[in-house]
Amino acid sequence: MTLYQSAQQLALSRDLHAFFQPILELQGDVLRLVAFEGFAHGAQESYQASPDLHDAALDADLDRTVLDLARLSRVIRVGAELPDTTMLSLNIYTSTLALFPEFPGFLAECAAEAGFPLTRILLELSVRGSFGQGNEHLDVLEDLRTQGVGIALDDVGVRETNLDQILELHPEILKLSPHLTRGLLRDPRRQVILEALVDMTRKMGGRVLAKNLETIEDFRIARWMGVTLVQGYLFGVPGPIELWKEHPFPQEWHLRSFMRQPTRLVRPPEPISPDRIH
């Protein structure tokens, strides 16, 4: 049985469901839909897109790495139904890349089976628990880049995700920890850090993505600090593919209208209980 077949079998046995949350890009006075971040978990797990979701879902006898691959394969398979104008952002541990040097081939097989171009995939790297894994993951990343896969670094600013990781992985996108983006209006220190990260990333040829934005005020501050990629409940909560097919997401919003009447232009769907997703 191939690695791809094993991942598909595990996805079925775990009854993994895929969820997607929009990512938007600021272009002048326009917010444009550019990507969806995909998540996958079982029906009995919380549907919320928690950064600790992978760890919380593990069984004692189930290797985290194999579950990592199963989630990814499930999201790609379902994500093929998303608009072909958007990227698909996928979460992966750097330890998974280190343990499976054949990962680029696995990803290519998943994408080919789903009819999903590799050039529309953005991998969000989580470095938690990756100390001592060596440099095997760096060769895998270079292979992925040659295939057109984008690279982002998740949770920048907390835990192991520090400047040395940025230097080592040289991601195109830095995805900031919500610890840095929550309460921006009332915390000048967070504003200083955010502005410095945006400036540093721009000079290195990358971009910053502010996630977990929940208030207009935090969004405004992030914009003033130079952030051009945003994600959070303010723009849409994670939902199953049926939600985005039944209620197509607007491709563009004019920013002034968005700021003036956010409840009319941005109305996140109600959270969906796992027991309704069958």
Residue range 14-65, pLDDT digits in tens: 788 899 999 999 988 888 999 999 999 876 554 433 334 444 444 433 467 8
198 is written with which tokens? 């945006």
For 3-276, CATH number?
3.20.20.450
Mean pLDDT along residues 159-166: 74
Q: Which residues, in sequence order, are bridge partners of residue 208? A: 174
pLDDT for position 25: 94
Contacts of 15 (CB under 8 A, 6+ apart): 42, 43
Neighbours of 140 (CB within 10 A): 20
Cα–Cα distances in angstroms (integers) from residue 29 to residues 130, 198, 208, in the given order = 40, 19, 18
Confidence band (pLDDT; 50, 70, 90) for 109? very high
* More confident position, 4 or 161: 4
For residues 190 and 212, is the Cβ–Cβ distance under 8 A? no
SS3 content of the chain, % helix, strand, coil (to 5): 45, 20, 35
The single-letter DSSP state of residue 80 is: T
User: What is the average pLDDT value for the chain, to the nearest integer?
Assistant: 80
What is the pTM (predicted TM-score) of this model? Answer: 0.82
**For 50, what's the count of Cα atoms within 13 Å in the CB-facing half-sphere?**
11
pLDDT for position 183: 83
pLDDT for position 60: 34
- CA 249, 208, 189, 160 torsion-angle sign: positive
pLDDT for position 130: 54
187-230 tens-digit pLDDT:
888 888 899 999 999 999 999 999 989 888 888 888 888 999 99
Q: Give me the amino acid identity at 142.
A: E
Angle between helices 3-13 and 64-79 (to 10 degrees): 90
Name the nearest CA neighbour of 22 among 42, 1, 4, 39.
Answer: 39
Cα–Cα distances in angstroms (integers) from residue 116 to residues 109, 112, 120, 243, in the given order = 10, 6, 7, 20
Helices (H), 115-240: 136-146, 163-169, 178-181, 188-203, 216-224
- Min mean pLDDT across 103-112, 151-160, 205-214, 241-250 is at 241-250
Mean pLDDT along residues 123-132: 72
> Where do the DSSP E strands lie in 99-138?
121-126
- Maximum pairwise Cα distance, the chain: 56
The single-letter DSSP state of residue 270 is: P
Name the nearest CA neighbour of 41 among 22, 23, 61, 59.
Answer: 59
